[in-house]
Amino acid sequence: MLPPGKHLVLGNIACAEGAIRAGCRFFAGYPITPANEITQHMAEELPRVGGYFLQMEDEIASMAAVIGASWAGAKAMTATSGPGFSLMQENIGYAYMTETPCVVVDVQRSGPSTGQATMPSQQDFYQARYGAHGDYEAVVLSPWSVQEMFDLTVRAFNLAERFRTPVILLADGMIGHMMEKLVVPEEVETVERRRPAGASCTPFGTEDPSLVPEMPRFGEGYRLLVTGSSHDPTGRRDYSPRVMEAKLRRMREKILRAEGEVRDIVEAEMGDARIVVLSYGASARPSYGAVMKARKEGIRAGLMRLRMLWPFPEEYLSKVAGEVEAFLVVEMNLGKAVREVERAVHGRVEVTPLTRVGGVVPTVEEVYQAIRRINECL
Amino acid sequence: MKPLSYYRERYIRHQPSPFCPGCGNGIILNCFARAVDELGLDQDRILCVSGIGCSAWIPSPHFNSDTLHTTHGRALAFATGAKVFNSDLTVVVFTGDGDGAGIGGNHLIHAARRNIDITTILVNNLSYAMTGGQIAPTTLHGSRTITSPYGNPENPFDLCRLVAAAGATYVARWTAYHVIELTRSMEEAIENRGFSFIEVISPCPTRQRRIFGFRNPIYEVPSRIMEMLVESTYIPGREPKGHYCYTIPRAGVKEALEAVETELGRRDLGAGVRQVDHLRWGTVLRVDCAGPEELDSVKELLGEIPEVERVVGALEGKVELGVFVRERRPEFVESLREVMRRAGGV
């Protein structure tokens, strides 16, 4: 592990370092570009801290092993990219259904299918939210720097433990493969899942206001029934509409109830902004440059960078929509987050997409020109 | 002998059984409870993992230990994560032929290759039964299922040879009829420090009735299947006693039976003939003789009867039962510990 202090490292290495400091002691993965350095670093570092690294036969097995280890008491993680992320979806759905804390890193590459394996994209914005079938709330984080690969991986574990849910770190090939300064802190704040204290427990139901049930582990004598089928608070299979509806509504509510509190938006130059440039991950970097350039040119632009993509900060954007005149949504896909922004502002202000695909990150100039054009129309 | 109620109270969660009458799953659960009891295992440290299909319901929710009922085919991968992180757990995977050898076939061979200390009990009912009786990777060539209405064009896996070749250190095959052997085998499998695999050929009156083309009333089907399992299997060293062969009828079984009876009577041979069910040959005639010389002459005679398509030897086409592999190789979690020692993490 890197000692505390300043380092020049790859984004993917920062992610693995963050995971171990967050308490991750189990990693199962399968080789895929551009996520390989996470897997490689885990293979090297986990055994040194008494953790387990497994290279599984595929991504389906990797996700399954992570869930199995989580129920055995581990803070567990896997890392992959587009094709592997697609394969994991069924078991990610299982993790939602069984309320299993774990972290899934998707270092996005350009798709669909094999696409451009070495090149970045932000095309999995909706897959991270809706990839598995059924109804659930996803928690998805988006880092824009090497430092945030570290910080948000730690946060991903903490949110997973707190909400008893899978958390997805939606990085991309540029951030993962970029070298930049990383400051490793002396200590990181970690969160542990609530465990039952008594002789019996209801692992899938709770009276607690957090709506997050206590989570025992295998081998403690609770004789757990863990199933992906509809189940009552004890875990017993029960297909009645009442039981399944209560389960799904509670699982949604446990996340949405805390949205305002866990919301993660970084803003720059927003004080008197007329034009909001909204972006996340790699595309937020040129967006920031373009906002600074616009400011120099006297254009009142501001940056709103989402570090938590899901739950989408609908309420907050709706409020901001009343104070600004236009949104420019910059992303590396054919228009995904822009739909969510449109939904949140509800037609009250103009929303313009700036979309780039083909494995490229938009340039500062491209974003600046888009801001300028919007400014001319205001 | 402990009474049945002892096992029920101690090992089985109270709830109505979901299994069809005549299903082998209850028998397998019963054998498992006895094996666990015989070994004196701590129930609080047993983790039963299962996938999707009827077999998955053997432990979940019936067996009174920790249970993890997972996605289709992936039980072994889930079990791998749990076993690695807590190797104190006795991990047993219950799977079916579709779950374990179809959708989960890849995980099966890789778990065997790693030789992870997990016992896998694969219940082979020769079809996807829960979903209506479709072709499975174990369905015999030519079998009629709802997705092979004109006969199965595929060939079945020999799962024991597959898993043995992949590196399992304990491999056995039994049927739901062989409860004593199966129970003993489960004990051995759990005690083996490595990947253990037991295939249990199991009756499914609900689906196999169609697959085998049985026209009996449903209540007669379970015993007919059980008899077939005995008829079509053998344990090396314990081959069935007597001198006999089978004849495969050319057209109707009834016509062949009449013709064979007439011919045997005409020649005044003492051989007995009766209709039996055979996994490989279907409904055939079994001809039992007094001795080897008589068997030879009877075989010759049978071959000349126009209603008889073919004469097959007693063991031909029978499924071999028994323990096929008992080996020692480095176990996966132990090897991971060794990795940890080399990295300086212990």
Four-point Cα dihedral B180, B184, B190, B194, nearest 10: -120
Q: Provide the token pair at A213.
A: 């049930």
pLDDT at B16: 87
Q: Which of A65, A22, A303, A295 is nearest to A169 (CA)?
A: A22
- Mean model confidence pLDDT for chain B: 96
pLDDT at B239 over 80: no
pLDDT at A173: 98
Record: contact B84-A26, CB cut-off 8 A: yes
pLDDT at A175 over 80: yes
Confidence band, pLDDT 50/70/90 cuts, at residue B346: confident
| CA distance to partner chain A, nearest, from residue B70 (Å) | 6
pLDDT at B268: 80
A2: burial class by Cβ within 10 Å (0-12, 13-18, 19+)? middle
pLDDT at B270 over 80: no
Range(s) of chain B covered by CATH 3.30.70.940: 242-314
Q: Could you list the beta-strand ranges (E) of chain B.
A: 46-50, 66-69, 90-96, 118-124, 170-175, 196-201, 233-234, 243-249, 272-278, 282-289, 308-313, 319-320, 322-326
Could you report the per-residue pLDDT of A156-173, keeping only the tens digit for each?
999 999 999 999 999 999
B121 touches chain A (CB under 8 A): no
- Residue reference for tokens 């006297």: A298
B345 touches chain A (CB under 8 A): yes
Q: At the fourth CATH level, which superfamily is domain B4-230+320-338?
A: Thiamin diphosphate (ThDP)-binding fold, Pyr/PP domains (3.40.50.970)
Mean pLDDT of B178-188: 98
pLDDT at B22 over 90: yes
Q: Cα–Cα distances in Å, from B340 out to A53, A264, A350, B30, B223?
A: 10, 37, 57, 39, 53
> Which domains occur in chain A, in start order?
5-184 (3.40.50.970), 267-377 (3.40.50.920)
- Which among A62, A65, A219 has CB closest to B86? A219
Element (DSSP H or E) covering residue B207: helix B205-211
- Residue reference for tokens 């984004």: A11
Measured CA to CA, the distance from residue A213 to residue B139 in angstroms comes to 44
pLDDT at B314 over 90: yes
Measured CA to CA, the distance from residue B171 to residue B159 in angstroms comes to 10
Q: Provide the token pair at A100.
A: 């299993």
pLDDT at B296: 93
CA distance from start to end of chain A: 52
The verdict on domain B242-314 having CATH code 3.30.70.940 is yes
pLDDT at B198: 99
Measured CA to CA, the distance from residue A355 to residue A121 in angstroms comes to 11
Is 0.90 surpassed by the pTM of this model?
Answer: yes
B346 touches chain A (CB under 8 A): yes
Mean pLDDT of A106-120: 97
Measured CA to CA, the distance from residue B38 to residue B188 in angstroms comes to 11
Mean pLDDT of A253-262: 97
- Check residue B100 and report its DSSP letter: I
Mean pLDDT of A118-145: 98
Q: How many residues are given for chain B?
A: 346
pLDDT at B15: 85
A58 touches chain B (CB under 8 A): yes
- Ranking A42-56, A284-298, A357-371, B4-18 by mean pLDDT, the lowest is B4-18
Could you report the per-residue pLDDT of B41-53, keeping only the tens digit for each?
999 999 999 999 9
Residues on chain A touching B68 (C-beta within 8 angstroms): 68, 71, 218, 224, 226-227
Mean pLDDT of A266-278: 98
Residues 26 to 45 of A: which have CB under 8 A from any B CB?
26, 28, 44
A50 touches chain B (CB under 8 A): yes
Does the interface predicted TM-score (ipTM) exceed 0.95?
A: yes
Range(s) of chain B covered by CATH 3.40.50.970: 4-230+320-338
A199 touches chain B (CB under 8 A): no
pLDDT at B242 over 80: yes
pLDDT at A174 over 90: yes
Could you report the per-residue pLDDT of A220-254, keeping only the tens digit for each?
999 999 999 999 999 999 999 999 999 999 999 99
Query: Which residues lie below 8 Å from residue A138, measured CB to CB, with a gap of 6+?
Result: A128, A129, A130, A166, A168, A310, A311
Instruction: Give φ, ψ of B90 to 5 degrees.
Output: -90, 110
Confidence band, pLDDT 50/70/90 cuts, at residue B240: confident
- Residue reference for tokens 């907050």: A316
CB A82 within 8 A of CB A124: yes
| CA distance to partner chain A, nearest, from residue B336 (Å) | 7
Q: How many CB atoms lie within 10 A of CB B85?
A: 24
